[in-house]
Structure 1
Amino acid sequence: MASVTISDIFDTKCDIERVDLRKAAAKRAQRGFKNPEEQAISICEYHDDLQSITGRRPTFSLLISTWESSKNPFFREACAYLPMQEELYLTSNLLQPSNSGQSPIILISKVQLSRNDAGDIQAVEWQKLRPPPNMPMPSSGTEFKDGILFCSQGGPAPGTGGLYYMPWNKPPRPVVTNFAGWDFNSVHDVAQARDGSLWFTDPCHGFDKDFRPQPLLPCQVYRYVPDTGDLRAMADGFGRPHGITFNPDESIIYITDTDAFRGGTEHEPTRAATIYAFDVIKRSGSPFLANKRVFAFAMSRIPMGIVCDDAGNVYAGCAGGVEIWNAGGSILGVIEVPGGAASLSFGRDGELFVCSEQRLWRVKLAGRQASPIL
């Protein structure tokens, strides 16, 4: 597909509002979520410690937007940054085809970043790509070796879905596509540990959205070791496990559960919209997940993509934007994004990329980096 170049990208200072957390509910009810038609990101500060993350002068820039034209949700998942190539890879939400006889599809976006001498992004080249036939319905992804590791949710046919490695400028190849011969449900997000193992979530989003068959496995979290082929189920008991990330020393893993959202407009407020934390422990020389606990219940519900910075702070894309907690689970503040946030990733020094369905944003913070094992 043809590429589009967007130039004259500029940074704008974020407005910061200090809000007493005890009055936050009334304040939010009065203000509501940021209107999707707005063109600005702002920050709601609940705790003084947020300043160590935002700095004194955080800025934002709008890299790409389809809000004013097609409103197609091209910027939802993956948000995988390749620093050597200065490329960002993203996946769309379900896109309805122009021909009513065709099934919905998910496209991949490749965004080439052009920076000035100060390191700020001044232009991007955006190209939409159809996923290869052997990697249907891609969702999240992460930098891996010299390319990207994509999660493929799979299609209607059996034997589809799993983890796929796509070397830079080369076709993807399967890494793991089933559990003991049973098809995964809808592999959604993946994180790589320092030992090379791949930890990934497997909700049943594809079945919820009618492009995957009846699930054959529980909604679980798995660990796969590419060098040995060892594949283990590590945790169950989720409604819809979604995002996954480690803390900096790899002693804790965070997993989001989006069970309150089943696709479309269906929302069940009594179900989980929760971030769970597990301790990563060793038993008989192997890692296990122990001490499952509620780390946070998202204030604006539906925590999806999740990342951890080098200080142990946790960031999640939610309906109101990017909610930020310290390692103790206390909410520090919210980067309020028009239309909410789905996924996010760190770029260069203090840079956060945020996917918001019809928009791709860059937020410049005070220098926080991704957790070093990501």
Structure 2
Amino acid sequence: MLAPFVALALVASSLSVSASPASLPLSFNRRSEDLPEGVFYFPPSSFAYTPGNITRLQTALWVPPNTTANASLPSFQAFHPDFLTLLGDSPSLKIIAENDTYAFAHEAAIWNSDTNEVIFSANAGGPLGDSNIDKNNKVFKIALNGYDGNASLPFIEILPPAGQDIEMVNGGTPFRGQLLFTCQGRGSIPPSLTLVSPYPPYNSTVLLNNYFGRTFNSVNDLQVHKPSGKIFFTDTLYGYLQDFRPYPTLPEQVYSFDPDTGVVRAVADNFGHVNGISFSPDYSKVYLADTGAANGTFDAYLPATVYVFDVETSSSGAVTFGNRKLFAYADTGVPDGLKVDTSGNVYVGCGDGVHVWNPDGDLLGKIFLGTGSANLAFAGDAGLVILAETKIFLAKFGASAPDLWSY
């Protein structure tokens, strides 16, 4: 999406004791000391009123007042009892790869179910991304087989092969047994939707690189609408803000593309900076992230918002978005990459980790990393792989995700 978030400072009123059993809702009878290790429960009533001056900025990390110091470490933070149910009895959260000098783990997270590998891209154009207008970013894979819960796993470069038009990869999803990437373009090389084999030598095919002869700005994220087979993708201006693409020549919009007919059409607009996209499990809803507050600098007056639309299919087969609603607002940083589990819960990479909302837009909890995440991918029984720029986290708990490879 964009450069890593502004350095975040931890804000807490007091670091003393965990939430007491008396503060738990009447319907919840587990004592806080009985929660699994690394899990903290914060009833919203415990911090609805905070005494003294409130000076927190949206770029600051935050843990609720009167919490243990351990809650400021990577952990699971529950704000609703349903999150505790989702986590189960023994959730875990571990770093499985890291390189503090290189933002190797940014976006385009795809789990290959055949090989149990996760494919992902390095930051394009941002600090520590080792890429700019003169240098392409890289795509890596990491193998989850045999992970024993302790060692740091190696990540292996797979793209871009020389001579292929795979420039500044940012978004990714499975499509017809292959990897489908949004490539932001670089300099005069246009952005594109590019299909890549998941196996060596990673042959590629550009499916789309223009809108009726006009170049896109820097295509960002995408997902396939499986009932129709159409590809929906977002186009924003982060390539321009990060100095590797020219000034935008189109509005920031969401598009649909039919790979069988070549038809492309705009389906949604009026965003700050439209970013992540994901469909509900039954494809009746679509979620879109707006990272308007991250605009080169950070402006908390602008959107840091997730919207939900109804997915509407006409009698002729046209798929459009309607009935736009504000679904959620991120309290820390901006919402970026989105994924939805089989229960319809929405997982969003934000400025302090992954925020989890239920289908009604209630914040269930956070996978609190103490740093920002731009993208994530469910990896079957292995868990949820979370990209955090210089680190990759693996969270294991009770959620499962729709099969994106079955199309």
Bucket of the pairwise TM-score, normalised by the shorter protein:
0.7 to 0.9
Give yes or no for contact 1:78–1:140 (8 Å, CA) kept in 2: yes
**1:180-199 superposed matches below 5 A:** 180-194=212-226, 195-199=228-232
Partner of residue 304 from structure 1, selected from 332, 336, 344: 336
Deviations 1:20-63 (A, max 9, x none): 213447599699448xxx99520111101112321121002211
Q: Matches of 2:284 and 2:41 in 1, distance apart?
A: 33
Q: Give the structure 2 partner of residue 273 of structure 1.
A: 304
- Which amino acid counterpart does residue 277 of structure 1 have in structure 2? V
Aligned to 2:265: 232
What is the alpha-carbon distance in structure 1 between the residues aligned to residue 357 and residue 129 of structure 2?
42
**Residues 127, 198 of structure 1: alpha-carbon distance in 2 compared, 3 angstrom cutoff:** same
Question: Is the Cα contact below 8 Å between 1:96 and 1:104 reproduced in 2?
Answer: no
Q: In 2 relative to 1, CA 101–127 (structure 1 residues): closer, same or farther, beyond 3 Å?
A: closer
Where in structure 2 are the equivalents of 1:140-151 lying within 5 Å? Answer: 140-151=171-182
Aligned to 1:365: 397
Deviation at 1:340, TM superposition (A): 2.1
What secondary structure, in the 3-state scheme, does the structure 2 residue paired with 1:178 have?
A: coil
CA RMSD of aligned residues (A): 2.8
Q: How many Å apart are 1:284 and its aligned residue?
A: 3.8
What is the SS of the residue equivalent to 1:53? helix
Identity within the alignment, %: 30
Give TM-score scaled by structure 2 length: 0.79
Give yes or no for the alignment of 1:22 onto 2:52: no
Q: Taking structure 1 as reference, are residues 127 and 100 closer, same or farther at Cα in structure 2, changes over 3 Å only?
A: closer
Change (3 A) 1:56 1:142: same
User: In the TM superposition, what is the alpha-carbon distance from 1:95 to its structure 2 partner?
Assistant: 6.1
Query: TM-score, normalised on structure 1?
Result: 0.86
The answer to whether structure 1 residue 124 and structure 2 residue 153 are counterparts is yes
AA matched with 1:44: Q
Partner Cα separation in structure 2 for residue 98 and residue 189 of structure 1? 18
**What is the rounded CA distance, in whole Å, between the counterparts of 1:197 and 1:350 in structure 2?**
29
Counterpart check, 1:85 vs 2:110: no
Give the aligned partner of residue 54 of structure 1. Answer: 87
For 1:276-295, list aligned pairs within 5 A. 276-285=307-316, 286-295=318-327
Give, in angstroms, the shift of residue 206 of structure 1: 0.4
The structure in which a higher percent of residues are strand is 1
Q: Structure 1 pair 95/172, CA: closer, same or farther in 2 (3 Å)? A: farther
Deviations 1:251-306 (A, max 9, x none): 1000001010023xx10101010000000112342221111110000121300010
Aligned length: 350
Q: Deviations over 1:181-207 (max 9, x none)?
A: 111111111101112211110011101
Go from structure 1 to structure 2 and tell me whether the alpha carbon gap of 1:121 and 1:283 turns closer, same or farther (over 3 Å shift): farther
SS at 2:239 equivalent: helix
Structure with max Cα Rg: 2
2:276: which partner in 1?
243
| 1:213-224 matched pairs, under 5 angstroms | 213-224=246-257
Q: How many angstroms does 1:101 deviate by?
A: 11
Query: Per-residue CA shift, 1:104-155, capped at 9, x if unaligned?
Result: 5421112122236xx9797734212452441111111112223211110001
Question: In structure 2, how many angstroms separate the alpha carbons of the residues matched to 1:46 and 1:120?
Answer: 27
- Equivalent residues in 2 for 1:39-78 (5 A)? 41-67=74-100, 71-78=101-108
Is the 1:53–1:365 contact (alpha carbons within 8 Å) kept by the matching residues of 2? yes
Query: CA separation in 2, counterparts of 1:242 and 1:17?
Result: 30
CA contact (8 A) 1:281 1:290 kept: yes
Partners of 1:171 and 1:299 in 2: how far apart? 41
Deviation at 1:14, TM superposition (A): 5.0
Rounded Cα–Cα distance in structure 2 between residues aligned with 1:204 and 1:302: 16
Any stretches of 5+ residues in structure 2 without a counterpart?
1-35, 64-70
Say which of 170, 188, 191 aligns to 1:157: 188
Distance 2:214 2:85 in 1: 46
Q: Which runs of 5+ in 1 are unaligned?
A: 1-12
Tell me how far apart the structure 2 counterparts of residues 316 and 100 of structure 1 sit (CA, whole Å).
25
CA distance in structure 2 between the partners assigned to 1:87 and 1:98 by the alignment = 22
Aligned partner of 1:9 in structure 2 is none
Aligned counterparts of 2:262 and 2:142: Cα–Cα separation in 1:
33
* Equivalent residues of 2:108, 2:171 under 8 A apart: yes
Match of 1:355 in 2: 387
Partner Cα distance (1:230, 1:184) in 2:
15
Give CA-to-partner distance per residue, 1:299-346, whole Å, 9 cap, x none: 213000101100010010000111011100011111101312111110
